[in-house]
Structure 1
Amino acid sequence: MWNAIETFLDSMFVGPMWPASVLMGLLICYLLLSILGAVDLDMDSPDADLGLDLDAPDAGIDLPESPDADFDVDFESNIDVGHGASDIFGGVGMLTLRWLNLGRVPIIMWAGTFTLLYWTVTWILWSQSDNFRYQPTLWISLLLTIRNIVIAVGLTKIMTGPMAKVFAPEPQFDAAHLMGRDCTVCTFRADSSFGQGRYKTDASPLLLNIRTDGAILSKGEQARIIGFDPVKRIYIVTKVDPEVLP
Structure 2
Amino acid sequence: MSESIIQFLERLFVGPVWPASVMVGVMLIYAIVVAFGLLDFDFGLGADIDPDAMEMDAGDIDLGDADASMETEIPAGDAAWQSAADGGTVSGLGAMTVRWLNLGKIPLVIWCSVFTSLFWAVSYAMWYGYDQDHFAPALIPTLLLTTRNVVLATLATKVLTDRLGFLSRRGPTYEAARLIGKTCRVSTSEVSPTFGQGEFTTDAAPLLLNIRTTEGTVPRDGIVRIIDFDSDRRIYTVTTADANAAQD
Instruction: Pick the TM interval, shorter chain.
Output: 0.5 to 0.7
**SS at the partner of 1:47?**
coil
Of all paired residues, the percent bearing the same amino acid is 30
Mapped partners of 2:139, 2:234: distance in 1: 57
- Which residue does the alignment assign to 2:25? 25
- Give the aligned residue type for 1:118: F
1:204 corresponds to 2:207: yes
Give the CA deviation at 1:140. 1.8
Cα 1:174–1:62, aligned 2, differ >3 Å: closer, same or farther?
farther
Mapped partners of 2:30, 2:192: distance in 1: 53
Mapped partners of 1:45, 1:162: distance in 2: 25
Mapping 1:29-178, distance limit 5 Å: 29-35=29-35, 37=36, 39-43=38-42, 47=46, 59-60=54-55, 61-63=61-63, 65=65, 78=84, 80=86, 95=95, 98=98, 100=101, 106-160=107-161, 166=167, 168-169=169-170, 171-178=172-179
Mapped partners of 2:12, 2:197: distance in 1: 56
Query: How many residue pairs were aligned?
Result: 218
Mapped partners of 2:25, 2:126: distance in 1: 19
**Larger-gyration structure (1/2):** 1
Aligned-residue RMSD, C-alpha: 5.1
Range that drifts further, 145-154 or 113-122:
145-154
Give the CA deviation at 1:115. 1.5
Cα 1:231–1:105, aligned 2, differ >3 Å: closer, same or farther?
closer
Give the CA deviation at 1:181. 4.7
Mapping 1:2-13, distance limit 5 Å: 2-13=2-13
- Give the aligned residue type for 1:2: S
Structure 2 portions without partners, runs of 5+:
56-60, 68-81
Cα 1:184–1:92, aligned 2, differ >3 Å: closer, same or farther?
closer
The normalised TM-score by structure 1 is 0.57
The normalised TM-score by structure 2 is 0.57
Query: Per-residue displacement from partner, 1:166-186 (whole Å, max 9, x unpaired)?
Result: 4642553444554x5524596
Give the CA deviation at 1:130. 1.5
